[in-house]
Amino acid sequence: MSSINTYPPFPMPTINYKAALQLDWIVVGGGISGLATAFVLQKAGHRVRVLDRLKKLGTPASGLRVPPNLSKIFKQWFGEEALSKVAVRNVGTPWIDINTGERIGYHPWKPVVMKETGGDFLMMHHEDVQKMLYKLATDVGVKVEFGVDVASVEAGDPKPRVILANGEVLTADMVVGADGATSIVRQTAFGIEDDAVQGGVTLLGGIAPAEEMLKDPVLGKMVLADEWPIFMGTIGACHPVRAKKEFAIQLFVPTSEGGPQNDGKESFYEVIPTSAIDISSYADDVQRLLKMVPYFTRSRYMKRSKEVTDWMDKSCRIVLIGEAAHPWFPGGSHTTSMVVEDAVVLGTLFSHLDSWSQVKPFLYAYQEIREGRTKAVKQEELTNTILVHLPPGPERDARNLHMATPATEADWDDSMLQRELANFAGIFCYDASDAAEEWWVDWGRYSHRPSEERERETRLSFLYSSAVVSSESVTAPLTGEGKKQ
C-alpha cells in the first residue's frame, strides 16, 4: 500500500482517565459498534462482557470506507504499522458511468486538505476492522462470548436483566444495546416495535480477487490504484482492500433488481450467487469485474416511521448505541465512523464516573452530543446518494457537465483549498473524544465533585478562612436531561 501520512500527534488519547466508580456492563452485539464500545469502557476502568448471537467472529462481508474522523481514532487504537498491513489510502475518486463505462470526472483528496483534518481517507475490509477491534477489546480484558442468543432485555430493581433464549438470566449494572438496526434491546427494553419496511434499494456486497483482476489490462489498473471509484447511475462503489490483495464492490440496486426472493427481512448475512443478479445493462468492464465475484451479500435498505426519541430507558441503566439508536442505510460511507464515534463519546464520559448520581447526566449528555451529528451526517449521505443515482435527464446531464470540468493544479490556490476544506471540515475534522471532554470541562465536572476535591476545598477553606463557593452557585446546572439552563 502507499504510505499513510504521518501528522503531528493528537492532543490526547481517546480514553485518558480511569473511572473512580467502576461498573459491570453487558454489551449486546459483537459487531464493530459493540466491540468498540466494549473496548473504550474497559479502557475507562469498567468490566465489560459482550454477547453475540453469531457462533464465531467474522462473516461474509465487503469493504468499508474509513474517513479522516475515523482513521485518526484507528491510528490511536491500532497504530500505523497494523493499519498499513490491511488498509489502502484513498487519494482520489473517479466518477464513472456504470452503463457506458465513460469517465465523467475525478475528485482528488488533496494532501494539504487531508492534513488539516488530522487523518487519512482509508479503504478497508469490514471483517478486518471487526477482527482488529476484537483483539483490541480482548487484550484489555473484555470478555466476548459467541453463540449467545439474547431474547429480551428488561429493567430490574435496580440492575437490568438480560434474558437469553435458553432461559438463562444475566444481570449487570448497565446494559448497552449495540445489536444494530433490528435491535432486540430497542424492541424489548424500550417497547419500540420495529415497523421497518423495504425502502426500495438493495445493497449487494462482494469481493473480487486481485490476482484475477491483474490478468485484465483495464481491471488490473483499477485494483492497483489508490482510488475509490464510484459508478454513477445504479450506484457502484468499489475500492482495493487488504493492501490491494482484494477488491471490494458494492452495488446499490433497486429492490426489483436485487435478485430472486428479495422480499425478506432485514439482514446483513444473506449470501446469494453472482449469477442471480442481472448485470447485462452494465458496461463491459463492469460486467467482467462482477463475474470475478463468487457471491454477494445482500442487505436491504429499510425505512422506519419514527426515529428513536430516547437512547436510554427510564431506569437509565440501559442505553442504545450505533445503529440500534440511529439505524443507517447499508453500505453508507459514514456508517462505521458514526458508530465508533458513539462509542468514544460514551466511553470518554464514563471514564469520569465517580458517583451513581452522574449516570443519568452522562447518558443524556451522550445523546445530546451525538444525536444532532448523526442526523446531519446521515442527511448528507442521503443527499449525495440521490445526486449519484440521478435518472437520465436534464439534472443528470447538468451534474455530469459540472463533474467533467476538472480543476487544474494552477486552480488549487489557497482560497480554493480553503473552500475544499470547508466542504468537509464539519464531518472530517470532528474529534469524538474532544466533543465529550468539552462537555465534561464545561458542565460535567461541576455537576459532581470527586470526594477528594471536596475534601481539599474544605481544608483550604478552614486553613485560609476562605469562603468556598459551591459549584452549583457559579455554573449553569444540569437539568435531568443533562443540558445547559
Comparing 23-32, 53-62, 354-363, 441-450, which segment has the lowest mean pLDDT?
441-450
Is 112 part of any domain?
A: no
Total domains in the chain come to 1
- Percent over 90 (pLDDT), the chain: 62
- pLDDT (tens digit per residue) in 216-244: 999 999 999 999 999 887 777 899 999 99
State the Cα–Cα distance between residues 175 and 155, nearest whole angstrom. 9
CA atoms within a 13 Å half-sphere pointing along the CA-CB vector of 245:
9
State the Cα–Cα distance between residues 283 and 162, nearest whole angstrom. 51
Question: Can you tell me whether residue 406 is helix, strand or coil?
Answer: coil
* Cα radius of gyration rounded to whole Å, the chain: 24
pTM, rounded to two decimals: 0.87
Is 376 part of any domain?
A: yes
Cα dist from 165 to 53, 160, 168, 374, 390, whole Å: 10, 16, 7, 32, 45
Per-residue burial over 365-401, b if 16 or more Cβ lie within 10 Å, else e, is: bbbbbbbebbeebbeebeeebeebebeeeeebeebbe
User: CB-based contacts of 79: which residues, under 8 Å, 6+ apart?
Assistant: none
State the Cα–Cα distance between residues 139 and 373, nearest whole angstrom. 31
Q: Which three cell numbers stand for residue 92?
A: 482520489
Quote the pLDDT of residue 481: 40
Quote the pLDDT of residue 6: 38
User: CB-based contacts of 258: which residues, under 8 Å, 6+ apart?
Assistant: 202, 204, 277, 298, 300
Quote the pLDDT of residue 445: 75
Domain at 42, CATH number: 3.50.50.60
Is 28 part of any domain?
A: yes
- pLDDT (tens digit per residue) in 281-333: 999 999 999 999 999 999 998 999 888 999 999 999 999 999 999 999 888 88
Q: Which three cell numbers stand for residue 103?
A: 469517465
Provide mean pLDDT across the span 87-98: 92
Is 276 part of any domain?
A: no
Is 181 part of any domain?
A: yes
Quote the pLDDT of residue 8: 37
Q: Could you tell me which residue, 124 or 399, shows the higher pLDDT?
A: 124
pLDDT at 474 over 90: no
Query: What is the side-by-side order of every strand in the sheet holding 161-164?
Result: 150-154, 161-164, 169-171
Instruction: Tell me: cis bond preceding 229? Omega within 30 of 0 counts.
Output: no
The number of angstroms, rounded, from the C-alpha of 94 to the middle of its chain's C-alpha atoms is: 24
- pLDDT (tens digit per residue) in 139-158: 999 999 999 999 999 999 89
Q: Could you tell me which residue, 310 or 3, shows the higher pLDDT?
A: 310
Other beta carbons less than 10 A from residue 164's beta carbon? 15
Q: What is the residue-averaged pLDDT of the chain?
A: 86
Length of the chain: 485
CA atoms within a 13 Å half-sphere pointing along the CA-CB vector of 282:
21
User: CB-based contacts of 441: which residues, under 8 Å, 6+ apart?
Assistant: none
Question: Can you tell me whether residue 173 is helix, strand or coil?
Answer: coil
Domain holding 42, by residue range, is 24-89+119-196+305-391+414-437
Is 205 part of any domain?
A: no
pLDDT at 40 over 70: yes
Is 171 part of any domain?
A: yes
Is 423 part of any domain?
A: yes
